[in-house]
Structure 1
Amino acid sequence: MTNSNIAGLLVEPGKRISSTIVVSEMPAHKVELPIKIISGAKRGPTLVITAGIHGSEYCAIVAAYTLARKINPEDVCGNVVILPLVNIAAFEGRVRAINPIDGLNLNRVFPGKREGSISYQIAYAVFNHVILKADAYVDMHGGDLMESLIPYIAYSATGNRELDRRSEDMAKAFGIKYLWKTPEATTKGGDTTEGGPWSTKGIAFAEAAAAGIPSILAEAGEDGKLDMTNVDLLCNGVMNVMKSLNMMEGKPNVVVKPVISEKCVFISAKRGGVFYSYAKAGDIANEGQILGEIKTLEGEVVEKVIAPFKGVLLAVVNNPAVKIGDDLYELMALP
């Protein structure tokens, strides 16, 4: 076997490296991201894993670093490329959702721009120099600050039957019950209840799928907490995917009857005020059920938040101070 060249880094078969890649240049320093590469002793596909695109989703970040230490090159066929902390500024600033340098949600600007603001430059480097080298891609997330959720997997419907089948196979192999088949990465977007159509445009896993790479997003964790149960869930899920790709020996530990849905909505606030949630992540909501209320500080109810259909609550926002347009619930339809 020959050496692998990934993001300009040469890796010998059966070896691992820990290095950095330059994603931007500031007046006095270069912006670099950590990268871990495990080059297997035998030939096989290249799996790219990212975490920390949202810098306060700690379970995913710790899981990525754990995988980089845990995976033995001698046990691998192919290459495992891990970017364990993509949004360093958000991690260091303890900021949810956005990059505090330019105020953008990094997971809405892929595939990025070479000469855009810092988030666009990071996305450009990550997408073009790493993700596009993949035969399969897993983006790990996990319950940002103020966000309670249950584990789930998302994968993109591109219209390419073979590609979509391979993404779905990865989603099923991960070993999590709830699977959301999202709309393709276009501005048209999918279903939502408020604020116009929801779009996967600019989201890393959906843009990777649009580029022809089987891809999934894995969510596990909540409220910005470091929960080792969810760290283990993410680590085991990635290794399940590796087994399904014949990158490791063994069979993946799959869910026998996963729940797959193409309909998932983000229910947002129509009024500003104090949000009282009467439902929690994982609850099964019935159509017409009152999930919560928004009240004034004086206690007057200004909005009742209603479930538009029967489904499982994948996520609930726990911040009581809300404004018009803020997401409150993520509801996935059940058969």
Structure 2
Amino acid sequence: MFKPLEVKKGEKKFGYVEIVDNLALSVKMPIGVVRGSEDGPKLLVTGGLYPTEYCGIEAASRLYHMIGPDTLRGTFITIPVINMFSFQWRTKWVNLRSTSTTPYDGKNVNNVFPGDPRGTLSERIASKVWQTLKVCDYHVDFRGGDLPESHLVHTIYLKIEDKIDKLCLEMAKVFGLEYVLPSTPDIGHTSTGTMIHSAVTKGVASIISESGLGYRTQPHEEFIMNHVNGTFNLLKHFNMMEGELKRPKNQKFLDMRWVGVSAREAGVFHAIADYGDLLKENMTIGKITDLTGSVIEEIKSPIDGIVHTMYPARLVFPGDRLYTLLRINDKTGW
């Protein structure tokens, strides 16, 4: 069985590690390792935590192909698909009332870190990732819109009121996307049990990069390259690779207070605003019609801000989330 942490200097290897192999189930996880000829930090990238966020998977796969030991100081590790079982089952994140779960045990891998090597399938997956993650210096989880999401391109970093906060913020800015979103442990995607929370609280600088539209199941090159270019920025910034960094023209912070916009009526949803659109308060951002085309509800923005997520459902029910909006804060200074 492949042992990713035993790859020698100057080697580049790709293989599979065993998650579980018994009469009931057999699951493996792919890992690629590029170890430079010189000592240096370890950088891990992960994709497929939510396995229908395809752009991150493609980027994590492509980086293994692009990086060689001759140009690298330290070690680059990629796990293109964390949750292979859900990837094979094409299990999507459904809506704000549920999560992308592993069909075998009904759990969300991103709620059970650092996992349990003798637990359920999701807990074993998390445990296997954790064995690699905990020995790394830096980590980026490649994410993007899932099948029911149209998602803003940005990075997320976790603040835990510790000295590692400064390094995580540095990574989030250097990754080079247009927006940076702070987060705290009381927010779901960075709460206890998530991969990023487990990493940061154990001293591994970890961020999330969001780039991709999952409902377009063929990954778009622009979104893939956001992850790829951001990773090369980090490799260069931390002196693991030579070269100049790519900087955004106008990087800004986002306010971490989410503003949801939900349907009041049932009907056919027509989105007018989409991810990344800048909004003014009371601007019309969508409408709901009946099957004659008559408008039964106009959707208005409650704030000046930006579309973080548009949920491209066609038929909606009262209470269904249509948009998540955020306010824009100051420039990051990077």
Q: TM-score range by the shorter chain?
A: 0.7 to 0.9
List gaps (5 residues or longer) in structure 1.
1-5, 190-197
Question: TM-score, normalization: structure 2?
Answer: 0.85
Sort the Cα spacing of 1:264 and 1:275 in 2 relative to 1 into closer, same or farther, 3 A. farther
Map 1:1-335 → 2, pairs under 5 A: 9-97=5-93, 98=100, 99-127=102-130, 129-160=131-162, 162-183=163-184, 185=185, 188-189=186-187, 198=188, 200-201=190-191, 202-222=193-213, 223=215, 224-265=217-258, 267=260, 269=262, 271=264, 273-294=267-288, 305-323=299-317, 326-335=320-329
Q: Deviations over 1:156-197 (max 9, x none)?
A: 11111x3111111111111211110111x3xx33xxxxxxxx
- Distance in 1 of aligned mates of 2:5 and 2:41: 17
Give the letter aligned to residue 167 of structure 2: R
Report the Cα offset of residue 66 of structure 1: 0.7
Q: 1:38 Cα deviation (Å)?
A: 0.7
Give the Cα–Cα distance (whole angstroms) in 1 for the partners of residues 153 and 91 of structure 2: 22
Q: TM-score if structure 1 supplies the norm length?
A: 0.85
Note closer, same or farther for the CA distance 1:199–1:32 as it changes in structure 2 (3 Å cut): closer
CA contact (8 A) 2:263 2:321 kept: no
The corresponding residue for 1:3 is: none
What is the rounded CA distance, in whole Å, between the counterparts of 2:63 and 2:151 in structure 1? 23
Alignment check: 8 A CA contact 2:27 2:84 kept: no
**SS across alignment from 1:82:** strand
Q: What whole-Å deviation, never above 9, does each CA across 1:306-326 have from its counterpart, x for those lacking one?
A: 434221112211122345665
Q: Distance in 2 between matches of 1:329 and 1:95?
A: 22
What is the rounded CA distance, in whole Å, between the counterparts of 1:253 and 1:54 in structure 2?
27
Deviations 1:252-303 (A, max 9, x none): 2122431112424162536555433221111112234343345666878776
Query: Secondary structure, in 3 states, of the residue corresponding to 1:47?
Result: strand
Contact 2:286–2:299 (Cα < 8 Å) also in 1 = yes
Count of aligned residue pairs for this structure pair: 317
Q: 1:31 deviation in Å? A: 1.6
Shift of 1:134: 1.2
4+ residue runs of structure 1 moved beyond 6 angstroms? 296-303
Query: What amino acid is aligned across from residue 117 of structure 1 in structure 2?
Result: T
How well do the aligned residues superpose, as a CA RMSD in angstroms?
2.5
Deviates more, 1:241-250 or 1:252-261: 252-261
The answer to which of 58-67 and 275-284 deviates more is 275-284
